[in-house]
Amino acid sequence: MQHISTIYARFICRELQLSAVEADRLLCDSSLQYGDISAQPFMPYPDFFSFLRRVQAQYPDESLGLKVGLKLAPAALGELGNAMLCAPSVKDALMLAAAMVHIHAAYFRLDVIKTAQGIKVIFIELADLGSTQRFQTEVMMLLSQNLIEAVVGGNFENGKFFFPYEKPKQSINYAEYLHSPCYFSASHGAIEIPEQYLSLQSPFFDPVIWEGLQLKLDQQLKQLRKDSQSPFSDHVRRFLSAQPPPLLSVTEVAQSLNITERSLSRHLKTEGSSFSLIRTRILKEYAEFYLTQSDLTIDAIACQLGYKDFSSFRRAFKLWFACSPSQFRNNHSDNR
């Protein structure tokens, strides 16, 4: 279930007023093109991460996550958003979101816990968001606020927003978008919602639509879990990881399956992946390991990973982690 709804990529393109050519350039490291994100409901989330990192590098805007999140009304989430609006109350909507979040983003889990004042919704990251964490957290917070405010018909002012990173320099922007106090350096992204909001009945509540959408969402979730069986992707990942780098070629991997490269590519695409995507992910893991756990020079690491020169490795690394290899090593030197 390595996917995310394409709605987020579409809204980024719209916010930045990107042409199809410009969007394709930002999607160059993925298996998709602009036409794909316009027509398909999901995209592999590593592709989305790659796209988002390129967006952040080429269109620096400290408020982009807030701007995109503000415009994502609950209905933008399709059947899940409509079901949340049609729920009996805010609490029912949030419980549904916790159960069905994988339909839109497979790398998050929502934990809902009872507090003395109401409930706390905790966003548990199941993948390393890296430099995209701030954008994605901001979008989630605005989406949650939009839902609550759509139901209650007023500003969500008495809650609390928690962000899993240090207070940004431009944190004053948060007050322009989020109507409750914001706190930073939390262990996880989270929202505290007082009881006064939870018990209010939604003006959109319709028991027939509510029941029907729950059944549809349950079917979607079951289908996604069924489709998550990815034998070819799993084989490629295991085969490439079975021995130290440099990594084997697509020809060698295809031969191990007794199929052609074209057939392997087709099978991987059906599973929402590609050889390049899997290979890149493993290279990133090896690069991170060598930089944090070994004393090899960066030139030696580049050579070990199969890069012909340091500059090629440096360019690739900067796309992966939004910093240079030396900066990454320095930032993690205390953990060695």
Per-residue pLDDT of 210-228, as tens digits, reads 999 989 888 887 776 665 5
Q: What are phi and psi of 5, to 5 degrees?
A: -60, 140
Contact 200, 87 (CB under 8 A): no
- Residue 88, preceding peptide bond in cis (omega within 30° of 0): no
CA distance 55 to 67: 14
User: pLDDT value at position 1?
Assistant: 46
CA distance 184 to 137: 12
Is the pLDDT at 22 greater than 90? The verdict is: yes
Task: Give how far the C-alpha of residue 135 lies from the chain's centroid of Cα atoms, to the nearest Å.
Answer: 9
User: b/e string for 32-41 if b means 16 or more Cβ within 10 A?
Assistant: bebebbeeee
Is the pLDDT at 193 greater than 50? The verdict is: yes
pTM over 0.85: no
CA distance 33 to 25: 9
What does pLDDT average to over the chain?
87
Contact 174, 62 (CB under 8 A): no
What are the residues whose beta carbons fall under 8 Å from the beta carbon of 142, sequence distance 6 or more?
65, 66, 68, 69, 70, 72, 177, 178
Q: Binning pLDDT at 50, 70 and 90, where does residue 29 land?
A: confident
Q: Which residue has the tokens 């620096």?
A: 60
Q: Binning pLDDT at 50, 70 and 90, where does residue 106 land?
A: confident
Closest by Cα among 323, 299, 294 to 309? 299
Average the pLDDT over 189-207 and give the result.
Answer: 92
What are the tokens at 179?
Answer: 């109507």
Closest by Cα among 77, 132, 71, 130 to 102? 77
What are the residues whose beta carbons fall under 8 Å from the beta carbon of 130, sequence distance 6 or more?
49, 53, 320, 321, 322
Q: Binning pLDDT at 50, 70 and 90, where does residue 157 land?
A: very high
What are the residues whose beta carbons fall under 8 Å from the beta carbon of 305, sequence distance 6 or more?
245, 246, 247, 283, 286, 287, 290, 313
User: pLDDT value at position 177?
Assistant: 96
What are the residues whose beta carbons fall under 8 Å from the beta carbon of 232, sequence distance 6 or more?
257, 264, 267, 268, 271
Choice between 335 and 123, residue whose per-residue pLDDT is larger: 123
Percent of the chain's residues with pLDDT above 90: 47
CA distance 9 to 134: 16
What are the tokens at 147?
Answer: 């839902």
Chain segment 310-331, per-residue pLDDT in tens = 899 999 999 999 999 999 998 8
Helix, strand or coil, per DSSP, at residue 119? strand
